[in-house]
Amino acid sequence: MIENLTPTLGLAICTYNRAELLQGLFESLLPTGAYGAPDKIVVVNNGPTQTSANIVTKYKERTVATYLREETPGLSAARNAAIAALQTDYILFFDDDVRLVASYFPELRKILEEHAPDIVAGPVAAQFNTKPPDWLPQDYVTRRKQGSSGRMIGGSASGGNFVVRRKIFDDIGGFQCNLGMKGKRLGFLEEFEFALRYRLAVKYTPSIYYAVECEVDHFTPKEKYHPLYLLKREYISHLQRGRLFRSTAANPRGLIIAGIVDLLAAPFSKYNDEQQDRVPLSRQILRMILSISGRIGFLIGSFLPIKINTLHHHQHRILHIALDERRAKKWNPVFRKTGATTKKTIASGDPDLSPDAIDERKCGHPTDFSVRGATLFVDLTRNVDLWRWREIHLYGDTRLKELAKLQRTAPGVIFRLHARSPRAFIAAALGWARLSTSIVVEKSMKDGTASPD
C-alpha cells in the first residue's frame, strides 16, 4: 500500500462580531474548488454575539466548517483555540475580512508538497469599496515582504495570510495573549513574536517560505485609511515593537539612544515609495507624519518592557565579519589562516555566500567574506538572519548610522567591534556595540565562546 505523502491542511478563521465579512470570506472559498481545499475548517468566534454561528451552519456542508467559541478576549487566544481544535499537518490562518482567488489553494498545496517549509507567508492586498485617496502610502495598499517567492531572511508573516506546521506549535507554544488585537482595541506583533521565537528555538536553518503567488485580498473600509486611524495604528504598532525589543535587548540603553537618534532624524529622512518615481507631495508629508508618530511610539515603548518569557537563545552562535582585511587578520588568527579577502561581499550574489550557506556555518567559525562598512546594514539584513546569531563580531570600522540601524533591527544581538578608533569608542559609549581590544584566540573560535572585552 502506497502511503499518502500529501500533508493535511486545516484553516483557522477568527472573527469578532463581523458576520457579513465572514460570509464574504465563505463565498470566496466556494469557487476555489475541491482540489487543494482545506481538509478541515474551524471558525472561532471571539465576540459577544452569536451571529457568526448562523453563517457557519449555512456553509457547513459545502466547506467542512465547524464552529467554536472562545471566551478569552483577544485574537491570540482565538488562534490558540483553533490550534487546539485542528490536528492537521499544517494550519492556515485567515482573518474574516480576506478574500481568495481560485488559484490560492492549488498554489499553496504545491509549495507545501515541494518545499515542506515550517512557515509560509503570502502578500495581502487591500480591497477598497471606494477609490483610495492619492495620499495613501503604497505599503498600506499592498503588504508585500519581498518581490519574489523563496526563503524569507527576516521579518514575519502578514497576520491575515500565513501557514504554520502543526508540530511547531507543539514545540514552542502558541501565540502570546498579551499581544495582538483584543476586541476593537488595536494590537499587533503576535505573528512577529512567534516568528522570532521560532527562529531562536530551532537548531536548523529556519524554514520560512514567502509565496508571492499566494496573495489574498483584504477588505479595507473607508475608516481604516482615515489619517487619524493611520496615525493611531502606526503609533501603537511601534509602541509594542519598542516594548518587545526592550524585553529582548542585550543593551537597553543602546536601544533607547538609537530610538532618540532615529526620532531626531525623522524630519531629514526621505519619504518615497520605492515602486514609484514621482510621489505626490501630500503622500510624502503623510509618510513623514506617520514615521514621526511611529518613532515616538517606539521610543516610549523602549522604556516599557513587556513580559515575554519564551524569547531566549537555545544556542550560542557567533558570526565573524571582516570589514577590513588587515584588521581582521590582526585581531583574529583564524583569518590569517583562512585568508580573509575583501574581493567578496555578502551582496555579491556568490552562491557560496548564499543565506543558507552563511546560516549553516559552524558556531564560532569565521566567515570567508567581507562587507563594506557603508552598506553593512543593507548587506546583513538582506542576507543574514540577524536574530539567529547571539553575537556578531565586526573587525574594522563602520559608520555609527549603520550600528544604530542594526540596534533598532536586532537589539537582542551583541555586536562586538574589534577596532581602535574614535567611532568605535563612541559606539561603545552609546551602547550600540561592545568594544573588544583583545585578540580572539583560536580556541575560543572553535568553542564558539565570546571573545574577551
1, pLDDT greater than 50? no
**CB hemisphere CA count around 197 (13 angstroms):** 20
Instruction: Please give the distance of CA 262 from its chain centroid, rounded to a whole number.
Output: 20
Label residue 427 left, alpha or beta by phi (over 0 means left) and psi (-120 to 50 means alpha). Answer: alpha
Smallest CA-to-CA distance from 313 within 386, 207, 394 is with 386
Q: Which residues, 6 or more positions from 172, have their beta carbon under 8 angstroms from its beta carbon?
A: 194, 197, 198, 201, 310
Instruction: Please give the distance of CA 373 from its chain centroid, rounded to a whole number.
Output: 25
Instruction: Dig out the grid coordinates for 239 from the structure.
Output: 509602541
- pLDDT band (50, 70, 90) for residue 364: very low
Task: Please tell me the distance from the alpha carbon of residue 244 to that of residue 305, in angstroms, as a whole number.
Answer: 6
Task: Please tell me the distance from the alpha carbon of residue 279 to that of residue 281, in angstroms, as a whole number.
Answer: 6
449, pLDDT greater than 60? no
DSSP 8-state assignment for residue 354:
-
Across the range 279-286, mean pLDDT stands at 76
Q: What is the dihedral of CA 235, 238, 242, 247, to 10 degrees?
A: 120
Mean pLDDT over each residue of the chain, to the nearest integer = 79
pLDDT of 442 reads: 40
Query: Could you report the per-residue pLDDT of 104-126, keeping only the tens digit for each?
Result: 999 999 999 999 999 999 999 88
10-19, 135-144, 172-181: range with lowest mean pLDDT: 135-144
**Identity of residue 91:** I
pLDDT of 447 reads: 40
Across the range 216-232, mean pLDDT stands at 89
What pairs with residue 370 in β-bridges? Answer: 322
- pLDDT band (50, 70, 90) for residue 355: very low
Domains of the chain and any CATH numbers? 9-225 (3.90.550.10), 229-301 (no CATH), 318-447 (3.40.50)
Name the strands in the sheet holding 318-322, side by side, starting at the edge strand that comes first in the sequence: 318-322, 391-395, 414-418, 434-435
Q: Residue 81 to residues 15, 120, 165, 310: CA-CA distances in angstroms?
A: 12, 20, 16, 19
Give this prediction's pTM.
0.84
By three-state DSSP, how is residue 345 classified? Answer: coil
274 vs 220, more confident: 220
Place of cell 502543526: 166
Question: By CB neighbour count within 10 A (0-12 exposed, 13-18 middle, 19+ buried), where does 391 fall?
Answer: buried
64-78, 313-327, 418-432: range with lowest mean pLDDT: 313-327
Helices (H), 223-280: 227-248, 252-264
